[in-house]
Amino acid sequence: MDYFTAANLTPTTLAGAAVLVGVCLPAVAAATGLYLGSRSRGFGSDFAVVGAFVAMVAAFVETYAVLDGGPVDSIPFLGSARTGGALLDLSLQADELSAFTSLAVTVVAFCVQLYSVAYLAGDGTPEHPTRYAGYAATVSLFTSAMLLVVHTDDLVLLLVGWELMGLASYLLVGHHSEREAARAAAVKAFLTTRVGDVGLLLAVVVLFAGAGTTSIGGLTAAIAQGDVGHGTLLAAALLALAGVAGKSAQFPLHTWLPDAMEGPTPISALIHAATMVAAGVYLVIRLLPVYLAVPGALQVAAVIAAITMVGAAGAAFAQDDLKRLLAYSTISQVAYMLAGVAMTAGDPAGAQAGLFHLLSHAAFKALLFLAAGCVVHLVGSTLLADMGGLWHTHRSLAVLFGLGLAALAGVPPLSGFWSKEAVLTAAEGAAHDGLWTGWLVLLAGLATALLTGLYAGRAWTMVALGEPVLPGAPVRGDAETEKPHQALEPGADEELVEETGHAHRLPRRMTFPLYLLAVPTVGLGLVLLHPPALLDGLGVDVITGYTGSVLAIAGLGWALSAPRLGTVDIADTLPADLRGLLRDGLRVEAAQRALVVRPVQALARWVQVGDRDVVDAYVRATPVVVAIGGRTLRRFSTGLATGYLVWVAVGAVLAGIAGVVLS
């Protein structure tokens, strides 16, 4: 600190500089890498990785500066703009909330950029051999947009970052645009999230009209002074929840997320871990003064979260595709975060629990998706039925994948245990304070813990256990000689020799991010030994905590015992109809198509008919009528002056008669 003082660099200026670097540098890397990457793939990847790394370093610097010197309320960014009678101050801010969230965002973004260099090494087409440059630039733009949302102090600026995230996600999900499924998934994600975004846009308009400012700090002060009406706050809070449901894939706007698995696996890690789906929960935490002023909105959020977490966990249990299983898992875990924040109406630690689960989920879910990408890279399929034997062939990868699943299930002492049980403890506290949604979230959370253990154990059993399915993969024993083959040495560059003699290896750029993400997955709970002010007060109730973890471990054990039941897939024990219902996501999408999509399409067809046969008919009739009129008048144009005088006289007589009658 003495060095910084001597250099006239205070924690405030250090935090401000770090925020600006974090927000701007990925955008600069996107533009530069896109331009130079069109000439050489190396330029595109290098700028993307370096930009993400520097942004990550800036996030660590910001965290240090904020913890040492306190929050920075205003960091000049885009100046100010006057709209009518109000002044928009387009500035940023830095506090513990933004610092810790940006840490999660940038660590995941860096891991994704580094991982993608190897994962998409063969990406491209003969027409676009350097398509990777566009991919890397879009990831950088996505990172910049998320960091803008995290640090903004103005709701208009937040909308800019929010929409840029939507645009970037559309491009990333549809990266493999040569596939019809990818194009359809991108359009679906874009349109579904836009439905929710309309609500957020209206919420900003309502708050601006009611409070006269779009500054989050100014809005908080106005609410504290009672200058904003209850109806205004309630309307804005409920409208913003629509945006949260869209971006964070909560019921009923969650159906876009499983289909988004058509994008590259690293993108699934980016979108599902700490960026887009977490943005909605972050928004509720940032606007918590609005929601605390109208607790009814938090109760609505709790109901949405309870329905989502149980329904998505049940759907995850029956999935046949590993990535779709993890996608439904994300929907369920984000609901845990939202439920924790919703408990703030009855327990002040609710928002802290929700934020802590956001941070821990960022680590273990990114680890899971990137590990799943390694498995897909090895077997060439995302179907669980095509996997198996990872423990025998790539033991280190199996261990890392298992760590992610254990943290997801909430096995102590991994990070997921502390964050999920903190949410359950907050729900229990809210329930004892008389909040009925506390009981709802508590029961839903315990049920979800059991289901999460089931599908986590199922995933590990089907991926890691059993006989290896890879061509030429080493096995534990030979059926004829009963002598064990020489097993491959576990490691980051393990190699599977195929029947053709070629090597199938996992590059270090794909395995290093897994080890990096495993560190917070295992040790993030240590933060609670000396928690920062933002997480001070978090705790795990002994009864509730052990109940949730016991249920999760019971689910894990049940799934791992599937081979003793005569099947490697515990989901085979479900009735066929029930499994089909869960695999189809409880057919929520079918209901949406019947109740929303088809009526809208029918209305669109009627509008199209009306436009073509009514509106356009008048336009098309105009030249016809003019032509007929022209031909008719031409018959009376004889060129004789006497004829024209007759018509003038007739016209004068008719005008006189009309004047007499009307008078």
**Looking at the whole model, is its pTM more than 0.75?**
yes
- The pLDDT assigned to 336 comes to 94
Amino acid at 62: E
The residue behind tokens 């059926």 is 479
Last residue of a domain, one of 153, 187, 207: 153
pLDDT of residue 5: 52
Give the pair of three-digit tokens for residue 470: 């890879």
597, 332 in Cβ contact below 8 A? no
Closest CA to 317 of 331, 305, 334, 304: 331
**Longest Cα separation, the chain:** 122
The span from the CA of 277 to the CA of 255, in Å, is 13
Q: Given this model, what pLDDT does residue 499 score?
A: 31
pLDDT at 504: 56
* Any domain includes 161: no
For the residues of 361-374, what is the DSSP string, one character each?
Answer: HHHHHHHHHHHHHH
Question: Which residues make beta-bridge pairs with 92?
Answer: 75, 152
Strand partners, 504: 496
**Does residue 430 belong to any structural domain of this protein?**
no
State how far the Cα of 273 lies from the Cα of 374, in Å rounded to an integer: 17
The residue out of 153, 168, 200 marking a domain boundary is 153
Provide the number of structural domains found in the chain.
2
Question: Would you state the pLDDT for residue 112?
Answer: 94
Q: Domain range holding 632?
A: 591-662
- For residues 502 and 230, what is the distance between their CA atoms, to the nearest angstrom? 68
User: From CA 364, how far away is CA 348, in angstroms rounded?
Assistant: 26
Q: How far is CA 253 from the centre of its chain?
A: 12
Tokens of 386: 């095509």
- 264 domain-assigned: no
Residue 480 lies in a domain: no
DSSP string for 593-621: IIIIIHHHHHHHHHHHHHIIIIIHHHHHH
**What DSSP assignment string belongs to 46-83?**
HHHHHHHHHHHHHHHHHHHHHHHH--EEEE-SS-EEEE
Q: Give the pLDDT of residue 184.
A: 92
What is the distance, to the nearest Å, from the Cα of residue 21 to the centroid of all Cα atoms in its chain?
23
pLDDT the model gives residue 477:
32
Distances (CA, A) of 140 to 92, 99, 134, 228, 501: 19, 19, 10, 38, 38
The rounded average pLDDT for each run of 10 residues, N- to C-terminus, in the chain (663 residues) is: 55 90 92 78 80 94 92 88 76 93 94 90 56 88 94 93 92 89 91 92 92 89 90 94 93 91 89 84 94 93 96 94 94 95 86 93 94 90 89 91 94 91 90 91 94 94 80 37 33 34 66 94 88 80 73 89 78 89 89 86 86 80 83 72 77 85 76
Q: Per the domain annotation, does 405 fall within a domain? A: no
Residue 497's pLDDT is 32
| Contact yes or no for 96/532 (Cβ under 8 A) | yes
Is residue 284 one of the residues assigned to a domain? no
H-only helix segments in 216-349: 216-224, 230-247, 256-259, 265-273, 276-286, 288-293, 295-317, 322-342
What is the per-residue pLDDT for 472?
A: 40
In a domain, 29, yes or no: yes
The sign of the dihedral angle between the CA atoms of 537, 542, 546, 548 is: negative
> SS3 for 428-491, per residue?
HHHHHCCCHHHHHHHHHHHHHHHHHHHHHHHHHHHHHCCCCCCCCCCCCCCCCCCCCCCCCCCC
Measure the CA dihedral 444/450/455/459, to 10°: 140
Domain membership flag for residue 146: yes
- Of 129, 153, 177, the residue at which a domain comes to its end is 153
Q: Is the peptide bond before 413 cis (omega within 30 degrees of 0)?
A: yes
Q: What is the reported pLDDT for 259?
A: 92
Query: For 489-555, what is the HEC assignment?
Result: CCCCCCEEECCCCCEEECCHHHHHHHHHHHHHHHHHHHHHHCCCHHHCCCCCCHHHHHHHHHHHHHH
